[in-house]
Structure 1
Amino acid sequence: MVKKHGKKQRARRKAARTGASYTSAAAGTNHTHLPEPDLAAFDAWPDSGLGLPADRDLAARLVAAARAACQPCQESLAEQARRVSRPTVAALAGAVYSGLAGGSPGAFASPTTRGWAPHAREAAARGDSTDATGRVIMMEYEQVRDLLEDALDHWAMGNPFPADLVEKLAEAPPRQRPADPLAAFREAGVKVLTLDDLDLGDIDTYHLAPNYGVTLMKTTTPDEQPMPMLVLYPETEGAGIEDLESRTDWEHWGLHGMPDMDPHWRVRARIADRSLRGLAHIGPDGEDDIELWRAAETVSLPQNWWDLLDQVQHVLVAGPVKTPEDPGALAAAGDAGELLAIVARVEFC
């Protein structure tokens, strides 16, 4: 289903993770980012025996800057790691691409990372990173840059985030969220109350917003790897493209390449009965702040679809389509520019 498309600039991926100007770096005012990251996976990377230890303090500051999306600090610290502390790059990447935290580099990692990842797994299995670290030390500068960027994509999302489906291939520019329709009232001094302003206690607000249904599909990544897919269709009044645009940051997607991945979007799956439970976005407080779909009943998934879900642990979610039973509805929505998509993480329960 995913149409072939050329690889987009890696700069876009990095820009999505960062965003600050270079002013503070130029002025020498780089700062500390809290909280400090948990580096248990970094510490588990075996010693190389080369007499060139990884710099744990540098790694902690680099990961913290990546998670804070502070581009000036990340750029200056990454340059330091690439130039003078390559064992630190090896340890950061090794924590992601060895068996410690996910294993596979994923279909969208750089050629450098895909080539180096097997050496990382061997290092973890032997308890000796001499060969893997030595290869990083001997890499060309551009190769070290690619390896570190791939690793930081994962570290920026977790501890570290499982090594798959992080790089995005879509060429279309990122979509901007529409203006808040209530902003004009607020600017005019009119007090506007929303659900967030009301103390509703434990009241379930799911049915107060538009809801969606889902259709199971399968697709393939640009390198022909199978991937589970969910297609949304309106289930209640108000659901549709305008609603999704106002409630999500999903990008407009024309079935070219892969849409963005956001680990805050979760497709929930229950292992006990092999069923899907819902699709929601996790807010800063760790609670659901957007819920688009909730299963009304328990339906066990086909074994092959469940097996694929368990293997990939990510789902391409796209929609809305007006007529889910129409096999051409998805392509029609994409061609009309009325299709939004995201790659969501699977949360097993």
Structure 2
Amino acid sequence: MVKKHGKKQRARQKAARTGAAYASAAAGTTHEHTPLPDMTVLTEIPYLAGQYIDTELAARLVAACRSACRPCQATLAKKLRTEQRPTLIALAVSIYATLPSPGFVASPTTQEWAPLARAARNDPSAAARAVGSAGAMDDEAASALLEDTLDHWAMVDASAEDVAELTGKVKIVHDAPPRQRPADPLAAFREAGMKVFTLDDLDLGDDVDLYHLQPNYGVYVGATNTPDGKDFPMLTLYPETEDAGTEDLERRTDWEHWGLHGMPDMDPRWRLRARIADRSLQGLVHVDAEGRNGIELWRASETVSMPDAWWDLLDRAQHVLIVGPTEPEALQDTADEGKLLAVVARVAFV
């Protein structure tokens, strides 16, 4: 009787340790998916410090996903959702804090939560919202987030080199300082007690065109593919004046630094104006809440009709990916240097 009780207790302990079902643990038929990835990166997320992260359970679940073992995935995922929600959050944050977009195929839950994960890197209040939101999800929502997260983890090979590459990227992002806007070049004059006037201070009215007094850009027309394989229109901005460039775009926009993975967020106030009569592009502007022009990055200097195929793609998508500042042939290099900014803008047909 004591022997049978001891066997049951050992089976329960094995089930708790491995995440396997009790029946499998008792029968000695638990699966072992090797190699197990090193998941210590999950413990290095600053705003999850102090919470217990079960790296062994996470490693077994990721390994089961890479082995396409559905029974183990189901058992381990259930344990993660119900007993180890901090570990689920850590797995999800390690992916979605580093991606500019969750992708069009992600579940509505992930689409809604991923921006919180990105914002959490630099904002303690956003970190609290991201953790609290994920912790309060019901089982269905948590399942959707976990499934999307594991799709990304499963794409990484189980080799030590590939896992190190992914976890290294996560560490770099978590250790990176908050993005800072370039320093105001007039700040030194103000600190010295000198009166400084800007164009906004002068209230010149609508009679003065300020476009050519600001850095300007040119555009290249192109196309890309969404994460689910659909064609999508794209404009690449290149500096047309000497003061145009990455620092200028960081100062004048809130565009994301984009690494050519997934898709950046959509900002409906950025508008690509396109004229239907001659199928030409007119300009790229940011509008205020009343729809009035604010920031103007590009204005067409002449009328050029777009190719039919590209115009039809623009008409179908009603949105366009804007990237820059770079030349098309240098797109990858600019992204690798961390200098590529991007946004998905709306198309305003006029």
Q: Secondary structure at the match of 2:96?
A: coil
Matched, 1:192 2:200: no
Q: Which moved more, 1:251-260 or 1:176-185?
A: 176-185
What is the deviation of 1:20?
A: 9.6
Q: Secondary structure at the match of 2:244?
A: coil
* Matched residue, 1:245: 250
2:222 aligned to which of 184, 208, 217: 217
Q: Secondary structure at the match of 1:254?
A: coil
Greater relative contact order, per chain length (Cα 8 Å cut-off, separation 6+): 1
How many residue pairs get aligned? The number is 211
Alignment deviations for residues 274-312 of structure 1 (CA, whole Å, 9 cap, x no partner)? 111100111345322210100111111111111111111
* Matched residue, 1:294: 299
* Matched residue, 2:346: 345
* Matched residue, 1:282: 287
Q: Which moved more, 1:235-244 or 1:305-314?
A: 235-244
* Matched residue, 2:96: 8
What is the deviation of 1:236?
A: 2.0
* Matched residue, 1:89: none
Matched, 1:334 2:330: no
Cα separation, partners in 2 of 1:195 and 1:20, compared to 1, 3 Å? farther
Q: Distance in 2 between matches of 1:290 and 1:332?
A: 27
Alignment deviations for residues 230-275 of structure 1 (CA, whole Å, 9 cap, x no partner)? 0011112311222222222222222122122211111111111111
Aligned partners of 1:175 and 1:251 also within 8 Å = no
What is the deviation of 1:204?
A: 1.0
TM-score, with normalisation over the residues of structure 1? 0.52
Alignment deviations for residues 157-180 of structure 1 (CA, whole Å, 9 cap, x no partner)? xxxxxxxxxxxxxx8688442333
Aligned partners of 1:175 and 1:250 also within 8 Å = no
TM-score, with normalisation over the residues of structure 2? 0.52
Alignment deviations for residues 143-163 of structure 1 (CA, whole Å, 9 cap, x no partner)? 7999xxxxxxxxxxxxxxxxx
* Matched residue, 1:53: none
* Matched residue, 1:261: 266
- Which letter does structure 2 place at the counterpart of 1:341? A
Q: Distance in 2 between matches of 1:16 and 1:190?
A: 39
Cα separation, partners in 2 of 1:186 and 1:143, compared to 1, 3 Å? farther
1:180 aligned to which of 166, 170, 184: 184
Aligned partners of 1:177 and 1:249 also within 8 Å = no
- Which letter does structure 1 place at the counterpart of 2:115? R
Alignment deviations for residues 75-128 of structure 1 (CA, whole Å, 9 cap, x no partner)? 7xxx8xx99xxxxxxxxxxxxxxxxxxxxxxxxxxxxxxxxxxxxxxxxxxxxx
- Which letter does structure 2 place at the counterpart of 1:292? L
* Matched residue, 2:213: 208
Q: Distance in 1 between matches of 2:117 and 2:96?
A: 13
- Which letter does structure 1 place at the counterpart of 2:337? A
What is the deviation of 1:341?
A: 1.1
Cα separation, partners in 2 of 1:180 and 1:285, compared to 1, 3 Å? farther
- Which letter does structure 1 place at the counterpart of 2:316? Q
Cα separation, partners in 2 of 1:179 and 1:284, compared to 1, 3 Å? farther
Aligned partners of 2:182 and 2:247 also within 8 Å = no
- Which letter does structure 1 place at the counterpart of 2:182? P
Q: Secondary structure at the match of 1:236?
A: coil
- Give the number of the structure whose residues are more often helix, by fraction: 2
Aligned partners of 1:282 and 1:289 also within 8 Å = yes
What is the deviation of 1:212?
A: 0.7
Q: Distance in 2 between matches of 1:277 and 1:13?
A: 31
Cα separation, partners in 2 of 1:347 and 1:176, compared to 1, 3 Å? farther
What is the deviation of 1:14?
A: 3.6
CA RMSD between the two structures:
3.5
Alignment deviations for residues 38-70 of structure 1 (CA, whole Å, 9 cap, x no partner)? xxxxxxxxxxxxxxxxxxxxxxxxxxxxxxxxx
* Matched residue, 1:234: 239
Aligned partners of 2:96 and 2:117 also within 8 Å = no
Alignment deviations for residues 191-230 of structure 1 (CA, whole Å, 9 cap, x no partner)? 2211111121221111111111100010011121111000
Cα separation, partners in 2 of 1:249 and 1:338, compared to 1, 3 Å? same
Q: Distance in 2 between matches of 1:305 and 1:225?
A: 14
* Matched residue, 2:70: none
Aligned partners of 1:251 and 1:259 also within 8 Å = yes
Cα separation, partners in 2 of 1:239 and 1:141, compared to 1, 3 Å? closer
Q: Secondary structure at the match of 1:291?
A: strand
* Matched residue, 2:140: 140
Cα separation, partners in 2 of 1:144 and 1:320, compared to 1, 3 Å? closer
Q: Distance in 2 between matches of 1:285 and 1:237?
A: 32
Percent identity over the alignment?
A: 61
Q: Secondary structure at the match of 1:140?
A: helix
- Which letter does structure 1 place at the counterpart of 2:140? E
* Matched residue, 2:308: 303
What is the deviation of 1:15?
A: 6.2
Q: Distance in 1 between matches of 2:179 and 2:313?
A: 30
